[in-house]
A = this chain, B = another copy of it.
Amino acid sequence: MDDPLVIAGREFGSRLIMGTGGAANMTTLEQALISSGTELTTVAMRRADANGGTGVFDLLHRLGIDPLPNTAGCRSAAEAVLTAQLAREALATNWIKLEVVADEQTLLPDPVELVDAAEQLVDQGFVVLAYTNDDPALASKLEQVGCAAIMPLGSPIGTGLGIRNTHNIEMICSRATVPVVLDAGIGTASDAALAMELGCDAVLLASAVTRASDPERMAAAMRSGVEAGRLASQAGRIPRRYWAQASSPGFS
């Protein structure tokens, strides 16, 4: 596998992590997942639980995509830890995407509850991928308590506002020693490419694809955007210049 994403020792060929939320129906979701090329997809345990359905897990299994349970909807460390434990039992995985949101209006993480939950889950042997604000200090703290990946937002969930603070994302990436996954806020393919160029190791998105007019096509766009950004981040971009520079008279 060329240039794999490695999280907690597992390798993924795709750097696009999908979410399932927001899809109009199973058929659309399936098309989008295939088109995205994803190998890892988050599923909200509390929502799955509430609806009692196993359809999404069946779908992922059929497509050979690993499910990544998340704690979406949890408002406290206690809730998140309990949800993670239930997910571990139900899905036989110790991986958990940790979300502890502060309020419904912003769906921003509650930093205090988040750190508390992360510590507990790491202690209990979970591989914790932590959804966080774009705060470099909080990101460092999450890494210190043992998270396997740091997942800062670009902007609040579902807003499609892209990356509001590129400086913060750059700072987070430059200091992290675990993978950084841009999570939340992506609206379009150039946002995904930019995330990778800023140094992120992967991108996680859901509604930008599932709620697009043409989810299958947007999934393909995101796949290409992530690849483009990854390649560009490795290719060594030209420096920014203030004044123009003619193409050299060169050899031609």
Contact = CB atoms under 8 A, between A and B. Distances in A.
B137 A252 contact: no
Interface residues of A, number: 102
A160 B247 contact: no
Given A190-B190, A207-B238, A53 B247 contact: no
A160 B238 contact: yes
A220 interface: yes
A227 to B, nearest CB: 5
B237 A208 contact: yes
B251 A236 contact: no
Given A112-B112, A222-B228, A224-B224, A244 B193 contact: no
A171 B106 contact: yes
Contact of A51 (B102, B242, B244, B249): B249
B245 A218 contact: no
A251 B193 contact: no
B138 A206 contact: no
A136 to B, nearest CB: 5
**What are the 8 A-B residue pairs with the smallest beta carbon separation, nearest first?**
A21-B247, A213-B236, A158-B245, A221-B231, A224-B228, A102-B137, A218-B235, A107-B244
